[in-house]
Structures are given as C-alpha cells and as structure tokens.
Amino acid sequence: MSEVSSRDLLERLIAFATVSRDSNLELIRFIEAYLAGHGVQSELFFNDEGTKANLFATIGPLQSGGVVLSGHTDVVPVDGQAWTVDPFHLSEKDGRLYGRGTADMKGFIASVLAAVPNFVQRPLRVPVHLAFSYDEEVGCLGVRPMLVELQKRPYKPALCLIGEPTELKPVLGHKGKLAMRCEVRGAACHSAYAPYGVNAIEYAAKLIGRLGAIGEQLAHPDHHDERFDPPYSTVQTGVIKGGRALNIVPAECEFDFEVRALPNFDAQDVASQLQAYAEEQLLPKMRAVQADTDIKLRPLSAYPGLATSPESEAARLLAILSQSSAFGTVAFGTEGGLFDEAGIPTVVCGPGSMEQGHKPDEFIELAQLQGCDAILLRLADYLCTDPSKM
C-alpha cells in the first residue's frame, strides 16, 4: 500500500461522523483495513452492544517496552452550532483544516497512521503500539475495558503518549473529574399550605450552597498547586431541574455537579461531605414533615488526574520528541490518568489547540499537523536505538 499524507488521512477520518452517541465502527474498520494493508494486525475491543470498538495494534517486536500512541475516535456533537462549513467534510483555507475533530483529536490519529509505513520499514528495537478508543468525550468510558485486557498481558509498554491537542507543547499533568447527580425527593402540596410540604427545590438550593462553600474551602491558598490553572480543585453545578407549577410545592428536584480535582485530591471527598451534610442537617428536617423524603447522590462519570514526574523516563522522552523541556499542564481531562493507573506512565502532546475543540468551525493548522509528523519521525529514530533506554 502506498504512503498517504496525514492531511489526506485526516480528510478520510473527518468524513466518519463518530459523534459519541453514534457508532465508530466504520472508522475503526477503515483503520483496521489501512493497517492490514501495511501488514499490521489489529485487535478490536467491543462495547457490550457491539456498536463501538477500541482498536489496539503493535508494530515491531513483541516484547515489553516501547510506546503507546493513544487517541480517541469519538467527537462531540455539532447540533445547534453555527458552522459555516460542512463539519464532516474537510475544508482548507489559509493553512487551516476545518472539520469536526480536526483538533480534538483526529489530527493526531491521522499523523499516527501516516507514520505507520515508516514504523513498519524501520528496524525498531522496541515496539510502538496504537490504541484508539471510543466514548472519551462522555467520561473516558470506552478505553477502560481495553486497559483491563492489556494489564493481563506479559508484555507491558514503557510509556504512553496521548495526542490530545496541546499545540505540540509537552504536558505532564491535568486534573481529574467527578460528575455526580443529586436527586431530592420532597413532598408536594398546594403552595398555600407550603409549610406542610417539603420543597425539593429549596432543599436542592441548600445542597448547592453547600457545594459552593466546599469550593471556597478548596480555593484556599493552602490547597494550591501553581502548575495548574486555576491552581486549585473546583466545584460547580451545571444543570438543575425541578418543579411543575408555581402554586405546587415541588416534590422533585435534581441537579448535576462536577469536581475538577488536582491529581493529589480525591474528588470523592466532595461527594462524601455533601452526603454527610444531607444526612446530618437536611434529611431529619425533611422527614419530620414527610417520612419517605430522600436525598440521593449518583455518580455519572469520573476519571483520574495525571501528574507525571518531570524526572521520569516518560518526561525525558517527551522532551526529546517535542524538543522542549518546558513541561506544562492542561485544564481539560484525558485518558492519561487511566493509562497511568494501569501501570503505563503517560504524557500528553499533540497537534492543534483545545481553543478550537468543541466549537463550530473547529480547525487545525496544517503546520501543526506537519509538526506532529516530525515528532513521530523522531520517535521512530529513537525506537531504533538501544532498547535498554526503555
């Protein structure tokens, strides 16, 4: 199979509308066939419904060590966004490539696929692995079953490079996330007799106020880590629903909140504090009016933070590849914490900027794509050297 540029591969990838709510199988089958054309076999790890799959492939010797090049294949929706171009057809103008997923993060995947012929032809001393996942955009869900399987194997990669858009700057850390739903069940009655009911919205407001107080505590300078922006763990409520009519005391209310946690902070501690407040302060008052009232917390999604040491082998290699040791962090999450928890030290570096991610007329600069191509060429050179370095 002849070589194809990263730009042309990105055009193919963008044409697959792999919004998280839909299947990614057409794209995965395309990648599987592309790799097979270069003599590379792939493994697929399907979801329970068989509608989505992760892809894992290895190039080079089957042994421990080497690098995982990781990216997610799903993209966020375009619904309600004012695009001026077709989001699922690559458009090029003034050195920019437009389309959903160009920056986040099919640009990186395109560069990886364009590098495959070089990886195959080179005498790699340690392997390069490709790991492409689904459902990253809805809580880093899809990669988990693949990581479970990889942990069972005797051959462990030395490190993982996740190609999320960092403008090719070397990144060693990001915050973790916990998303929760709080469901308040009160007791309805006519609003003229409000004291005889239990107003679910008002009790939800007390809980939201408590979250705000917890957030203020986390923002105290004693809890700061200046590597991050903002330099502390944050709490915010993003969705609230409740009530049927103004003259009815509402019996139901629910709200969703999230914690963006520094890597050394357990986000579950916020949920535990809120649960304790509900049980100790609110539920006794609610149940004094109506015995079957309740407050329940339910997890929606979570992923861990990432904090790779700048003294690690992973950081040293990232400095070589990116030609910079100006390590930073990013505000958005990645699958990196999950790879790290699976015993694979992880770093983040990829083409494009998250400033364009999730927005209408998302784009990546062609120069960024070419810069990523150059990084992967340097990686191939490195993997042909002394394997004891990894």
Residues marked active site are found at 74, 136
d(CA 108, CA 113): 9
- CA nearest 44: which of 57, 34, 35? 57
Strands of 363-365's sheet, edge to edge? 91-93, 96-98, 363-365
Of 242, 249, 251, 243, the closest CA to residue 191 belongs to: 249
Query: Strands, E, within the chain: which ranges?
Result: 42-46, 53-59, 67-72, 91-93, 96-98, 128-133, 159-162, 171-174, 176-185, 234-242, 252-261, 294-303, 306-307, 328-330, 346-348, 363-365
b/e per residue 357-385 (b: at least 16 CB within 10 A): bbbebbbbbbebbebbbebbeebbebbee
CB 168 within 8 A of CB 349: yes
* Residue 237 and residue 246 in contact, taking contact as beta carbons nearer than 8 Å: no
Whether residue 137 contacts residue 76, with contact meaning beta carbons closer than 8 Å, is answered with yes
Count the helix, strand and coil residues of the chain and give each as a percent rounded to the nearest 5: 35, 25, 40
> Are 150 and 56 within 8 A, CB to CB?
yes
Hey, CA dihedral for 157, 163, 167, 173, is it positive or negative? negative
What letter represents residue 336's amino acid?
G
Q: What are φ and ψ of residue 50, in 5° steps?
A: 75, 15
**Distance between CA 89 and CA 15 in Å, rounded?**
6
d(CA 332, CA 355): 11
Residue 357 per-residue DSSP state: T
What would you measure as the largest C-alpha separation in the chain, in angstroms? Answer: 81
CA 217 – CA 211 distance, rounded (Å): 10
**Tokens encoding 276:** 């304790």
